[in-house]
Amino acid sequence: MRSCSRYSSSCSRTDWRSPLALALDAKLKTKALLRAVFFSPAILSPLVVGYTWLYIYQPQSGLLNSLLRAVGLGDWEQPWLGDPKFALYAIVLIVLWQYVGYSMVIFVANLQSIPGDYYEAADIDGAGGWRKFRSITFPLMAPSLTINIVLASIGSLKAFDIIYVTTKGGPFQATETITTLLFSTAFSRNQFGYGTSIGVVMFFLVLIVSVLQIFLLRKREVTA
């Protein structure tokens, strides 16, 4: 009988996992380095991340537009944080860059908890990569999926630091969030009562969204 653990090369070729999670879970000499590289943005201060990407997106001398000019794509240059059409997507890219490694670490921890015997039994039954992913990997990854979805939802609802550093909710409120609205209302316009009301609404909104997601997502969780 052919041995087929989670870490064997024969299984990794047929196991359809997220490429980033697979790289972090694979039996590679650079595994520790890859984990450090992908996770390192998550330990940086949001202020540091915001100011770094503010330079990258700078219209005249920013890294992104400079690279576009260098490769002959100068027509693609944009005021990334100054155009309402692109500002929100630019912010989303920053947040993804910072926290994708954090989410992948959670996925990898869940991947490593899946017994290799399941994949061995699937190989004996002749299951292919997609069948193993659908019947084994994806169902048993449900706990980490629940955690990541809930954390991402809470983080998006209370997003403030990066947005305030880069756009302050502009341009034309294109990147406005509840927290930036709360801050500008209470501390810029001195409407503390209105700001407090926004904070209370945000608290209950986060609570309701979190409870609903946990309740719905927990239903599909299975244990190994």
Question: pLDDT of 103-155, one tens digit each?
Answer: 988 888 888 888 888 888 988 888 888 888 888 888 888 889 899 999 999 99
d(CA 3, CA 8): 8
Give residue-wise pLDDT tens across range 171-192: 999 999 999 999 999 998 999 9
Q: What percentage of residues in the chain have a pLDDT greater than 90?
A: 53
> Is the pLDDT reported for residue 2 higher than 70?
no
* Cα torsion 197, 198, 204, 207: sign: negative
d(CA 61, CA 69): 11
Give the Cα separation of 139 and 220 in Å (integer): 7
pLDDT of 200 over the 50 cut: yes
- Helices 142-157 and 192-218, interaxial angle, to 10°? 170
User: Would you call 153 helix, strand, or coil by DSSP?
Assistant: helix
Among residues 156, 164, 172, 151, the alpha carbon closest in space to that of 84 is found at 172
pLDDT confidence bin for 11, thresholds 50/70/90: very low
Beta strands in the chain (DSSP E): none
Q: How would you classify residue 35: left for phi > 0, otherwise alpha for psi between -120 and 50, otherwise beta?
A: alpha
Query: What are the residues whose beta carbons fall under 8 Å from the beta carbon of 217, sequence distance 6 or more?
Result: 142, 145, 146, 149, 150
How many whole angstroms separate alpha carbon 21 and alpha carbon 103?
9
1 burial level (CB within 10 Å; 0-12, 13-18, 19+): exposed
Do the Cβ atoms of 82 and 65 come closer than 8 Å?
Answer: no
